[in-house]
Structure 1
Amino acid sequence: MALADAGLQPENLDLILFGAAVGRQPIPATAPLIKDLLGIRKEQVPAYDINATCLSALVAMDLANLHIGAGRAKHVLVVSSEISSRALPWDDDPATAGLFGDGAGALVLGPSVEPDRMRIRDFAMETWAEGYDFCTLGAGGTRFDLKTDRLAFEQNCMFRMDGHSLFRLSRKRLPHFIQRLLERSGWTVDDIDVVVPHQASPLALQHMIRRCGFHSDRVVNTIRDTGNLVAASLPITLHTAREDGRVQPGSKILMIGTSAGVSVAGMTLVG
């Protein structure tokens, strides 16, 4: 659907990026499988994964933009897919488990030569590493050894989140980050026509609107229908804004979100 919307065929792609918190498996990356399923046999089309948890798709968009700007690629496919339901802590933390959903999104980036296409203006990202343990899915990497400590491995196969600590850290840092990003773009809060936020939770969304001074009718809210789709959240919310007719030629768009780690990232675009 994304390729059709861009008027392209798989063979027109120069790079494939899969951006998600949890891919199909640790090794190999998921992007080569997507390339294979698309039937692309050209070896010069690299395919690899980007993991910035909830911000993976947005970071992949920035990386795609850098590749295009450097002349290394003309058309880049970004795919994000999350199946959160595989690792939700329903037994001991249903309040957290109930926030999440499953979903997938894809988009194509290319040279900004068509007037009816969105254009990236700026991107920024910060990491607040003191929140490293606020959101975790511990098993599946090198931290827990299935052979020597099977119990610890199994106990850490479920997602864990300290929502209160994450909320406090984001509440303190996010408004200033957004202000700096908008200043770099030469915009103010009142200039923004469409805010496309990561759908972390209903509470987080409402707090961001109040704390950052956004007009609530300009913020795209999908969480009550989809839940938190992790990395797929931002591309799906952007797609919803387009489908609803909220993105018009010349619209000033802000994509913004936080992720485990803890990181925050934002991108300004012009419709």
Structure 2
Amino acid sequence: MPLSTITGIGHYVPKNIVTNKDLMEVMETSDEWIRERSGIEERRYIDRTKETTTSLAVEASLNAIKDAGIDKNDIDFIIFATLSPDYYFPGAGVLLQRELGIAGTEIAALDIRAQCSGFVYGLATADNFIKAGTYKKILLVGAEVHSVGLDFTTRGRNVSVLFGDGAGAVIVEATEDESHAVLATSMHSDGTYAEKLAYMYPGAHGGYFLDKYAIEGFDVDYNLENTPYGGVFWNQDMLDKARIFPHMEGQAVFKMAVTKFPEVIKETLEKAGLGVEDLDMLIPHQANLRINQFVQKLMGLRDDQVHNNIQKYGNTTAATIPICLNEAYREGRIKKGDTVVLAAFGAGFTWAAAVLKWGKD
């Protein structure tokens, strides 16, 4: 049975740097407040008239394709992880195929909506497709554009200061060499707490879940007296009540993350027949530097065993791990033969990890 390995990697972030001090111009916050709670110093935002989630993905993909030394037409499957697609439908995978100029190949494109865990879910999916012999050269992308959908007022500061835009991509190919392959993956979810971190409007739920689970701060009064059909996906009342922005209960997310992160890392290392002592580099999802530091301390890892870059990019959700992985590799922090662990936790809640032997020089 073939195994899978990463043969190419690349990332791309917009050129527009937005610092904490820049955000102080539009909301009541401070550089110290943001750094203390998240570790973030700056993030990147797209040019709203020239860049999209897909365009960021194109740049990252071309970098990964070049790094792998393959032709873009050799790709036989696309996996696109994002929570911020350009359209509600169709998904971003087919848009990426078109913008890469490979639509004529008619290869399948799969979109993954596992939020911050999306890239690791995607790697697990690619790994299993390659093991099954279904595909041989898979383009896996994580890309996000958050800046166009955040509440840049004091009301929304707890969420808006955390997120940035960016994209990362890898080429996953078949190999028979276990010394540079994906060794194990794990994926989990628990929908009990779905609304603790959610972007609920626009949506097709019609208020059903908000009413059923009595989500704090949300009501189901849509003023629909003169709207016999439709009107609950999006309407003016939702705009007036600022319902169209992300909702997060930070403490609940933090508590769950610091529990599930170590669990899934240890679980996946055990699947690979390894222990924490065998880990050379941990690439954690970049949601909050405080979460990552807590997990690092809990697992007894040294600073040189963990790579963080949230300070520069903020939380780019599905893109954080490939961006972080590529940076660590380019900086020489990951070397051929190293045991690398990718781990993520995000909305849903979802969490996942992958253990791989790094195969690139």
TM-score by length of 2: 0.71
Do the aligned partners of 2:285 and 2:344 also contact (CA within 8 Å) in 1?
A: yes
Q: In structure 1, how many angstroms separate the alpha carbons of the residues matched to 2:156 and 2:88? A: 26
Aligned CA distance change for structure 1 residues 113 and 247 (closer, same or farther; 3 Å): farther
User: What do residues 89-111 of structure 1 show as CA deviations (whole Å, max 9, x unaligned)?
Assistant: 33213132111111011111001
* Matching residue of 1:95: 158
For residues 243-258 of structure 1, the aligned pairs below 5 Å read: 243-258=330-345
Q: Report 1:15-94 matches (<5 A).
A: 15-91=77-153, 92-94=155-157
Task: Report if aligned partners of 1:17, 1:76 keep a CA contact under 8 Å in 2.
Answer: yes
Q: Identical aligned pairs, as a percentage?
A: 27
Letter in 1 for 2:202: G
Shift in CA distance, 101/41, structure 1 to aligned 2, threshold 3 Å:
closer
Three-state SS of the structure 2 residue aligned to 1:93 is helix
Q: What does 1:116-131 correspond to in 2, within 5 Å? A: 118-131=180-193
Contact 2:260 2:345 survives alignment (8 Å): no
In structure 2, what is the equivalent of residue 264 of structure 1?
A: 351
Aligned match of 1:150 in 235, 250, 259? 235
Structure 1 gap ranges (5+) = none
1:132 matched to which residue of 2?
194
SS at match of 2:262: helix
Give the CA deviation at 1:213.
Answer: 2.1
Indicate the residue corresponding to 1:209 in structure 2.
Answer: 296
State the structure with more CA Rg.
Answer: 2
Provide the rounded CA distance (Å) in 2 between the counterparts of 1:3 and 1:195: 24
Q: CA deviation at 1:43?
A: 4.7
Give the stretch that moved more between structures: 38-47 or 19-28.
38-47
* Deviation, structure 1 residue 185: 1.4
Are 1:169 and 2:281 matched, yes or no? no
| Counterpart residue number, 2:169 | 106
Kept after mapping to 1: 8 A contact 2:124/2:186: no
Correspondent of 1:9 among 71, 93, 98 = 71
Q: Deviations over 1:220-244 (max 9, x none)?
A: 0101011111110011011111111
Alignment correspondent of 1:189:
276
Distance 1:38 1:177, change over 3 A: closer
Cα distance in 1 for residues equivalent to 2:91 and 2:267:
34
Task: Provide the C-alpha distance between the structure 2 equivalents of 1:104 and 1:238, rounded to a whole number of angstroms.
Answer: 12
Find the aligned partners of 1:105 and 1:169 in 2 and give their Cα distance. 26
Deviation at 1:57, TM superposition (A): 1.4
In structure 1, how many angstroms separate the alpha carbons of the residues matched to 2:176 and 2:265?
28
Question: Quick one: distance in 2 between partners of 1:118 and 1:37?
Answer: 31
Aligned-pair RMSD on alpha carbons? 2.0
Deviations 1:90-143 (A, max 9, x none): 32131321111110111110012579x952110001112222111111123312
Aligned twin of 2:57: none
Unaligned runs of 5+ in 2: 1-62, 207-221, 223-229
Question: Does the 8 A contact of 2:194 with 2:347 survive in 1?
Answer: yes
Q: Deviations over 1:18-63 (max 9, x none)?
A: 1111211111111111111122144541112111011111111111
1:178 paired with 2:262, answer: no
CA distance in 2, matches of 1:67, 1:74: 8
SS of the residue 1:158 aligns to: coil
Q: Given residue 185 of structure 1, which amino acid in structure 2 is its aligned partner?
A: A
CA contact (8 A) 1:128 1:262 kept: yes
Q: Which moved more, 1:212-221 or 1:137-146?
A: 137-146
**Paired residue for 2:27?**
none
Residues 173 and 106 of structure 1: CA distance in aligned 2, closer, same or farther (over 3 Å): closer
Identify the match of residue 221 of structure 1 among 294, 297, 308: 308
The one-letter code of the counterpart of 1:131 is Y
Aligned to 2:336, what secondary structure does the other structure show?
coil
Equivalenced residues, count: 270
The 1:179/1:80 distance shift into structure 2, 3 A limit, reads closer
Alpha-carbon separation, structure 1, partners of 2:142 and 2:260: 26
Change (3 A) 1:153 1:143: farther
